[in-house]
Chain A
Amino acid sequence: EAQVTQNPRYLITVTGKKLTVTCSQNMNHEYMSWYRQDPGLGLRQIYYSMNVEVTDKGDVPEGYKVSRKEKRNFPLILESPSPNQTSLYFCASRAGGPLSEQYFGPGTRLTVT
């Protein structure tokens, strides 16, 4: 089954404790991205990657890091989480080209206290 998986699905952590949210896709997609979803703000892109070792900032990259060492994986790293990073995070992938369908993961609910 074609899918994007994220782990963990739910996470409660404390300010300053480094964390990683993993994302993996099994469709051999070139393009992957991370979004955060906040009430009233919709989805905002954090980072995206057009291929292995190619990443770029989205609209709200501050406080986040990503890496793309393998095509299937695109982890999101919060080196020092803060309460304003409490949000719902989605990973997404697509084959490439703007008309390709973008597949979304199920989301990760992060709470930073």
Chain B
Amino acid sequence: AQSVTQPDIHITVSEGASLELRCNYSYGATPYLFWYVQSPGQGLQLLLKYFSGDTLVQGIKGFEAEFKRSQSSFNLRKPSVHWSDAAEYFCAVGYSGNTPLVFGKGTRLSVIA
């Protein structure tokens, strides 16, 4: 079965530091890959997505993600974290047709001064 793994449950970074959130997926072909962010008390918002083309994808709020087929990974990065980035981040995988998205368990990001 397809699966998504986010190895880090909770990450704390200092404001202004760089960030990388890890995501690995299990699937035979190239999936559709997504990163969502959930701010406290809010629903989920799409940060970026990838299916084909350039393996480095730019998203909103200064985030980017890189698809690495050899590692089955789609890690999310940001060069300089802001306090407002504190939230929970979910990696998700979709497949062909109308099959539902499969979500990872999420990584909670805390930002300290």
Q: How far in angstroms is the closest Cβ of chain A from B103?
A: 4
B107 and chain A: residue at smallest CB distance: A42
* B94 lies within 8 A of A42 (CB): no
**DSSP class of B's interface residues: helix, strand, loop or mixed?**
loop
A105 and B43 form a contact (CB under 8 A): yes
Complex Cα–Cα for A14 and B98 (A): 36
Please, how many residues of chain B have a CB less than 8 angstroms from a CB on the other chain? 25
**Pairs across A and B, CB under 8 Å, 20 listed:** A4-B43, A40-B9, A42-B104, A43-B44, A43-B106, A45-B100, A48-B100, A90-B43, A92-B44, A96-B98, A98-B94, A98-B97, A99-B32, A99-B49, A102-B101, A104-B36, A104-B43, A105-B43, A107-B42, A107-B43
4 nearest A-B residue pairs (beta carbon): A42-B105, A104-B43, A98-B94, A43-B103
Chain B positions within 8 Å of A, measured between CB atoms, are 9, 32, 34, 36, 41-46, 49, 51, 90, 94-101, 103-106
